[in-house]
Amino acid sequence: MPGGDLEIEFRSGALTRCIFQPGALQRLGELCASVGFAGTGALVCDVRLLATPWREALLALESTRLGAPIPRPVSEARKVLAEVEEICDALSARGVQRDGFVVAVGGGVLTDLAGFAAAIYLRGVPWVSVPTTLLAQADAGLGGKTGANLRSGKNLIGAFHQPRLVVCDAALLTTLPARERWSGLAEVVKCALLDPARDSSGVSFLDRCERDLERAATGETDALAPLIESCARYKADIVARDEREGGMRAFLNLGHTVGHALEAATGYARFTHGEAVALGLRGTLWLSRARGLIDEPALQRASRLVARLKIAADRRLDEPERSAVLAALAHDKKVRGGRVRFVLLKALGAPVVVEVEPQECVRAVEASLA
């Protein structure tokens, strides 16, 4: 049920406690203490949060061991090593020692960067992930993937560093712009296609997603909370067994192969991450059918749900941009022997990793943008 508490034990021995509770931001100091943090903390937050209704809750944490917020002007374009270095400098200035910890409050870019800083500062200090966007609560906030981009591609540098605590406060999502909520819902839909039968507060995850998608997009907490928790529980089951993407964790890349290429080819400026994933899901479904993997009823059900995801960006690409997408695919981390590894669907809830030839990649990109 929403409002739950989940403890994940990884094969490496790492532990992550996940809290799903509207209003949890105000209890952040208490929650950090509950997992044994006693040293100096550093709360690194997206600077834009200090211009939202959550400003006072963040400033109030100065009276705890977290101290005054350290605001950072993060964006996809600033998701680079230089920003990680600046965060590390801020941790040093705060006086964080090996018994200290980092608290990352923001969207997926912020949690990736601050988590990476925590992984390398003093050769690693514990950290807490407090994702404040739907995209991050559904995906980036849990699982320990941290990192930054290179000019040649997204997330090509980083580290696996599990947060000791993840705090998902669905109330934080009510003040997001509608486009940001739709962006996050692409990750929710992805998870529902991967794990359709999971219980989601009394109904299947896929049924709930189909029923409540538009309500969640308007920011209704009672629609958002069970979807977020279902995503997190699915991802927890995966990453607890495959912490470093040696096997089934790759399934979480459904829709991301083309999605990442679209982002890179357009300079991370046109599409939100979720919009790119939504487009990537279209190409994934096309490839699944072209390979004869998925039956027509399942394909149509998945396609109808994916088609409901709203994409504000102009998806029309000129020829140089399309060439850039294909070049980005060729540099994808998952390329093996010139073939790109895609996650496809044999059925709803039955992903499979398939190596795809370059010409099929062209057709998948065309299907994504159609």
The pLDDT tens digits along the chain (370 residues) read 346 889 999 888 999 999 999 999 999 999 999 999 999 999 999 999 999 999 999 999 999 999 999 999 999 889 999 999 999 999 999 999 999 999 999 999 999 999 999 999 999 999 999 999 999 999 877 889 999 999 877 789 999 999 999 999 999 999 999 999 999 999 999 999 999 999 998 999 999 999 999 999 999 999 999 999 999 999 999 988 888 877 899 999 999 999 999 998 998 889 999 999 999 999 999 999 999 999 999 999 999 999 999 999 999 999 999 999 999 998 776 676 778 999 999 999 999 999 999 899 999 999 999 9
CA distance 49 to 306: 30
* pLDDT given at position 2: 45
pLDDT for position 332: 73
User: SS3 for 177?
Assistant: coil
Region of residue 33 (phi > 0: left; psi between -120 and 50: alpha; otherwise: beta): alpha
Dist CA 239 CA 8 (whole Å): 9
How far apart (Å, rounded) are the C-alpha atoms in residues 353 and 289? Answer: 14
Place of tokens 């350290």: 70
| pLDDT, tens digit (0-9, with 9 covering 90-100), for 8-24 | 998 889 999 999 999 99
Q: Which DSSP string corresponds to 133-147?
A: SHHIIIIITSS-EEE
Residue 7 corresponds to which amino acid? E
The distance in angstroms from the start CA to the end CA of the chain is 38
| Single pTM value for the model | 0.88
The residues that are catalytic are 123, 145, 187, 235, 245, 249, 253, 256, 260, 273
Give me the pLDDT at residue 334, please: 67
The pLDDT score that the predictor gives to residue 333 is: 66
DSSP state of 22: T
Reading the block at residue 330, the tokens are: 């060729």
Q: Which residues pair with 167 in a beta bridge?
A: 19
> CA separation (Å) from 280 to 15, 168, 177, 188, 350?
32, 26, 22, 14, 18
